[in-house]
Amino acid sequence: MDLNTVAAYRAARTRADLALAPGERLLGGGTWLYSEPQVDTTGLVDLTTMGWPALERVGDGLRIAATCTIAELARIPPEPGWGAHALFLQCANALLASFKVWNVATVGGNVCRAFAAGAMVSLCTALDAEAVVWTPDGRERRRAVEELVTGNGTTSLRDGEVLRALEIPAHALRARTAFRKIALAELGRSGAVVIGRVDADGRAVFSVTAAVERPAVLRYETLPEAGALAADIRALEGWYSDPFGAADWRRHVSGVLAAQVREELAR
């Protein structure tokens, strides 16, 4: 879609360039920005010219630049001991998009847009990712992605803040994982995504996304009994209805998927 209200474009090279004038918007991949009219937008500030490395090792963890594309993340080579490596491609495939979109859509953009069915939100919440946020005063703050996303399309980002990166800790990368997704159509938008993780110390994490308005993360000291997990899934709040699924259906299938994930992790 042409943004016919945009009269100016500038490439950001330094952090100071990220200070927005009235009417300016940050541009990453632009796959959402260009999908509908942006009548209040008069200028674009390109984040991709900041030169951030797409993927970096930080200690034994992984730093994903906000400007890293879905395609770059999906192609990340496995590292020794990364039990969770399969999740990168699995979550990328959960994004209802063509390969053309994969090559321009950014991980940070998907997280900041914060749609309930955001596949990168699913990945980040399942792996305890922390958002590195640049603040207007030249500092940074950090927030778990499960807390950064506050609702379907809303975040706790404040005016003038910029998502710089997403950092996944080593313990999550080394974990065993299992992934399940369901949609009303074979290639449709996710109606529910459930991801399970068992860390080296035996602790278990189950994340539910797409079915609820904001990410739900359940944590256990050990892999929970089937009945306890089912009860905890049923007790979650925020189930919602839209053309891609009714709330009661989402609640039911999330329980089914969680049981399948638990069974796989118990093997």
| Same domain, yes or no: 106 and 213 | no
Please count the structural domains in the chain.
Answer: 3
Residues 70 and 119 placed together within one structural domain of the fold: yes
Same domain, 179 and 101: no
Residue 1 in domain: no
Bridge pairing between strands 55-58 and 149-151: unpaired
Say yes or no: 161 and 57 in one domain.
yes
What is the rounded distance in angstroms from the CA atom of residue 108 to the CA atom of residue 64?
A: 9
The DSSP secondary-structure symbol of 139 reads: -
Q: How far is CA 73 from the centre of its chain?
A: 12
Instruction: Report which of 46, 49, 26 is spatially closest to residue 113, judged by C-alpha positions.
Output: 26
Range of the domain at 29: 8-46
Are 213 and 141 within one domain? no
The confidence score (pLDDT) of residue 185 equals 85
Residue 123 shares a structural domain with residue 141: yes
Instruction: Note whether 60 and 123 are same-domain residues.
Output: yes
Kindly state whether residues 227 and 141 are assigned to the same domain: no
What is the full DSSP assignment across 156-181?
A: SPPTT-EEEEEEE-HHHHTSEEEEEE
pLDDT of residue 233: 98
pLDDT at 97: 64
Asked if the structure places residue 3 within a domain, the reply is no
Domain boundary among 115, 140, 171: 171
Report the CATH number that the domain containing residue 82 is assigned in CATH: 3.30.465.10
- End position of a domain, from candidates 150, 171, 192: 171
Residues 80 and 148 in one domain: yes
58 and 129 in a common domain: yes
The per-residue pLDDT string of the chain (267 residues; one tens digit each, 9 = 90 and over) reads 688 999 999 999 999 999 999 999 999 999 889 888 999 999 999 999 999 999 999 999 999 999 999 999 999 999 999 999 999 999 999 887 667 788 899 999 999 999 999 999 999 999 999 999 999 999 999 999 999 999 999 999 999 999 999 999 999 999 999 999 999 987 788 999 999 999 999 999 999 999 999 999 999 999 999 999 999 999 999 999 999 999 999 999 999 999 999 999 999
DSSP line for 62-105: EEEETT-BHHHHHTPPP-TT-TTTHHHHHHHHHS---HHHHTT-
The domain spanning residue 234 has which CATH number? 3.30.390.50
User: At which of 141, 171, 201 does a domain end?
Assistant: 171
- Alpha carbons 70 and 102: distance in angstroms, whole number: 5
Alpha helical stretches, state H, the chain: 70-74, 86-94, 99-102, 107-113, 119-126, 145-148, 170-173, 226-235, 247-266
User: Residue 1: what pLDDT?
Assistant: 63
Q: Are residues 160 and 124 in the same domain?
A: yes
One domain for residues 103 and 182 = no
Q: Which residue in 63, 55, 76, 70 sits closest to 105, CA to CA? A: 70
Pair 189, 202: CB distance under 8 Å? no
Flag whether 2 is in a domain: no
Would 249 be classed as within a structural domain?
yes
pLDDT of res. 100: 75
| pLDDT of 105 | 93
